[in-house]
């Protein structure tokens, strides 16, 4: 008799859990209003990672120019502040890896940065230093906006910027976006979601935002657990790797969840043809790649 009562109790608990889980999966979620950055006729966006760093030195004007010439949809780039508060396009916290100089970007003036050779270490497919001593420099974000005013951008606010300078970085990026009327041409991202939310507050929500690492992780875990209806995020887009901590981040339920909530989903950094084909088959919103020419070629072949 006791065993029977115990079985009934366990069954009831399991049933309640399953009902709650089912409700969490089907609970209606209000779609996020679509920002003007995202076009109705967008197919899978071709996003040039660091400007398309396979074709030219990363985050430089030659890289951006080459990708624009190829016809990419979006230029992805990273920004830091110099000592004299100029917004520069640079991935690392130091200039050591990509130039012939050394030092922390926050501790150098732009006059000191501008003379460095940003093509010094770049090698083409043949292993030649084709951009060394060619006058390639670390550009200011304003130079990029000036040269490519009609382009769309993913701008990453680097959380490696000194913490004391982060509010200034946010303010200056927002001012520059307004100056060049780029409100509908930019998505702002960062690994630090607090930086993104600070930008969203200062900009009054006029610019589309990506999700920081903390917020993205929570959203993904909720959908991998099929808690779709109880898992939302304050972001217009997600930028994800293919896999994290052993989890497949191209899981169909995650794709279903972002579609239902009107959140754009992009994957990085995709450089091999097989994965490009796989993501195109899934009709993801965008693919970030170092090799935009390859991705564009694959898309063209699939359309024949």
Ordered domains of the chain (ranges, CATH): 40-95+137-302 (3.20.20.190)
208 contact partners, CB below 8 Å, separation of at least 6? 35, 37, 38, 186, 187, 188, 236, 237
Lowest pLDDT segment from 1-10, 13-22, 133-142, 183-192: 13-22
Q: What is the pLDDT of residues 31-90, one digit of tens each?
A: 778 899 999 889 999 999 999 999 999 999 999 999 999 999 999 999 999 999 999 999
Share of the chain above pLDDT 90, in %: 70
Lowest mean pLDDT among 92-101, 221-230, 278-287: 221-230
Helix 193-203 and helix 166-179, axial crossing angle in degrees, nearest 10:
40
Average pLDDT, the chain: 89
Here the tokens at position 265 are: 């989903």
d(CA 257, CA 65): 36
Q: Rounded to two decimals, what is the model's pTM?
A: 0.88
Segment 253-260 shows an average pLDDT of: 85
Closest CA to 210 of 235, 185, 232: 235
- Short-list 84, 87, 69, 273, CA closest to 182: 87
Distance from the first to the final alpha carbon of the chain: 71
Q: Which residue has the higher pLDDT, 14 or 110?
A: 110
Report d(CA 173, CA 256) in Å as an integer: 33
- Residue 26 in this model has a pLDDT that exceeds 90: no
Least confident of 2-16, 87-101, 287-301: 2-16
| 154: Cα separation from own chain's centroid | 6
Task: Give the closest residue to 106 by CA, choosing from 165, 52, 59, 147.
Answer: 165
């Amino acid at each position: 008799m006791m065993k029977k009562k115990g079985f009934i109790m366990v069954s009831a608990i399991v049933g309640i859990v399953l009902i709650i889980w089912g409700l969490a999966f089907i609970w209606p979620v209000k779609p996020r209003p679509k920002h003007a950055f995202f076009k109705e006729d967008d197919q899978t966006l071709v996003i040039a990672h660091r400007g398309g760093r396979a074709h030219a030195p990363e985050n430089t004007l030659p890289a951006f120019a080459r990708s624009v010439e190829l016809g990419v949809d979006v230029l992805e780039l990273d920004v830091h502040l110099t000592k004299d508060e100029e917004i520069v396009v640079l991935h690392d916290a130091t200039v050591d890896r990509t130039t012939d100089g050394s030092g922390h970007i926050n501790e150098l003036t732009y006059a000191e940065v501008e003379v460095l050779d940003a093509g010094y270490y770049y090698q083409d497919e043949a292993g030649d230093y084709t951009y060394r001593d060619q006058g390639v420099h670390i550009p200011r974000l304003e130079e990029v906006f000036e040269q490519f005013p009609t382009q769309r951008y993913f701008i990453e606010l680097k959380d490696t910027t000194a913490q004391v300078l982060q509010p200034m970085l946010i303010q200056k990026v927002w001012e520059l976006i307004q100056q060049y009327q780029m409100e509908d041409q930019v998505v702002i991202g960062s690994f630090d979601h607090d930086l993104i939310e600070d930008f969203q507050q200062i900009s009054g929500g006029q610019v589309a935002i990506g999700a920081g690492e903390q917020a993205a992780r929570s959203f993904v875990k909720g959908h991998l657990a099929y808690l779709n209806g109880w898992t939302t995020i304050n972001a217009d887009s997600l930028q994800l790797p293919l896999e994290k901590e052993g989890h497949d981040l191209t899981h169909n339920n995650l794709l279903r969840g972002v579609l239902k909530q009107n959140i754009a989903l992009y994957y990085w950094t995709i450089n091999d043809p097989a994965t490009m084909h796989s993501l195109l088959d899934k009709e993801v919103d965008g693919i970030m790649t170092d090799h935009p020419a390859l991705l564009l070629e694959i898309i063209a072949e699939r359309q024949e």
